[in-house]
Amino acid sequence: MQVHRDLDQLPEFRNAIITIGTFDGVHAGHRFIIEQLQQAAKECHGETVIITFDPHPREVLQPQSNTLRLLTTLPEKIALLEKEGIDHLVVVPFTKAFSEMSAISYLEDFLIQRFRPHTIIIGYDHRFGHNREGGLELLEAEQQQYGFQLIEIPKQVVHDLTVSSTKIRNSLNEGAVQLANELLGYTYFLTGTVCHGDKMGRQLGYPTANLQLADSRKLIPAEGIYAVRASINGQAPLPAVMSIGNRPTFNGTDLRLEVHIFDFNQDIYDQQVTVSFVDYIRPNRKFEKIEELVAQMDLDSAKAREILG
Ligand SMILES: Cc1cc2nc3c(=O)[nH]c(=O)nc-3n(C[C@H](O)[C@H](O)[C@H](O)COP(=O)(O)O)c2cc1C
Ligand SMILES: Nc1ncnc2c1ncn2[C@@H]1O[C@H](COP(=O)(O)OP(=O)(O)O)[C@@H](O)[C@H]1O
């Protein structure tokens, strides 16, 4: 897959089959659209092109409501789309100026001129251009003049996609990772750099690698204890147990992402660790005695081992 970030450096596409969207999560619903792209491309020996925006339009247009949480960071999205076999991903740097382009200019100067689309696959309610003034009706009106085929994604499919994205976010926010994973079609994961904690873990017999996320917009699942698989620098995943929380037993205040890898004893500070969430075990608790916490960690580990098989 070729990734393009400079609109002035785009190649000449061969029978481009294009679609536009955020594709956050690249979940099972998105893969339905991707299949349509690939089918259309096959029929005309064309190339599949996904146009996406970074940052997310909402971040640029409503910077004050900073509530957006991503299922996938841009590098994660790129990796997932690559796996799907997409030919081109165009990451449009979304700016205020870009958002102020009129709908007709967006269509003619951006979509038509830059992509010369053979086919545009678009949601029935897709809006574009300044104040979202353009839509399917404008595409339909210009279709003949520019000779592109228009494939409309019907209301039901768009609705299902939105419901699915919302369900995945809500499930992760509630710790229901199994449901989220089912809807994603893969195991939800996040990647962080191992940083220093309070050096308490080793004393408890449970060294835990503290993860620092590269992108603060990444959605962190609900606080609690999870059975996970941890991959260090992209190596084979290892069974592990994870705690997300502020360590109430120690009156901690900040949210920590900590992973204890089973049967493992290496210094992995500054390494990249990717954690995949397999199942939720329990919520975080405040323990009166440290021994009680350790006894509970023993139970959590046994449970996680059992889940991970
Ligand atoms: C399996 C597991 C379960 C945990 N459960 C709790 C908990 O219920 N309550 C709590 O306060 N901390 C919990 N923790 C977090 C520990 O308090 C934390 O890992 C420990 O303080 C070590 O922190 P450090 O890495 O900063 O030294 C848990 C950690 C693990 C690995
Ligand atoms: N089984 C393990 N799982 C996770 N980290 C481990 C493990 N064994 C050794 N380590 C190392 O120990 C560190 C965690 O020890 P800990 O005492 O909890 O220190 P910190 O508070 O800095 O996280 C990790 O960052 C890693 O470098």
> Who's near 72: CB < 8 A, 6+ residues apart?
24, 25, 26, 80
Question: Does the pLDDT at position 60 exceed 90?
Answer: no
The burial of 261, by beta-carbon neighbours within 10 Å (0-12 exposed, 13-18 middle, 19 or more buried), is given as: buried
CA distances from 49 to 39, 82, 92, 101, 121 (A): 13, 12, 12, 21, 10
Rounded distance between C-alpha atoms, residue 218 and residue 68, angstroms:
9
Residue 156 in contact with residue 186, Cβ under 8 Å?
A: no
Residues with CB under 6 A from ligand 1: 197-201, 204, 206, 208, 210, 225, 241, 243, 247-250, 258, 260, 284-285, 293, 297, 300
Residue 87 in contact with residue 48, Cβ under 8 Å?
A: yes
Rounded distance between C-alpha atoms, residue 286 and residue 284, angstroms:
7
| Chain segment 62-87, per-residue pLDDT in tens | 888 768 899 999 999 999 999 999 99
Structure tokens given for 54: 């970074």
Per-residue exposure over 165-183, b if at least 16 CB sit within 10 Å of its own CB, e if not: bebbbebbeebbbeebbeb
| Chain segment 183-199, per-residue pLDDT in tens | 999 999 999 999 999 99
- What is the model's pLDDT at position 48? 98
Mean pLDDT score, 150-164: 93
Closest ligand 2 atom, residue 201 Cα: 18
| Chain segment 255-277, per-residue pLDDT in tens | 999 999 999 999 999 999 999 99
Residue 97 in contact with residue 130, Cβ under 8 Å?
A: no
Ligand 1 atom 20 nearest Cα: 201
- Ligand 1 centre to CA of 170 (Å) is 25
Question: Does the pLDDT at position 250 exceed 80?
Answer: yes
| Domains parsed from the chain with CATH numbers | 2-170 (3.40.50.620), 187-308 (2.40.30.30)
Torsion region of 124: left, alpha or beta (phi above 0 gives left; psi -120 to 50 gives alpha)? alpha
State the residue for tokens 């994660």: 76
- Measured from the alpha carbon of residue 286, the closest ligand is 1
- What is the model's pLDDT at position 61? 85
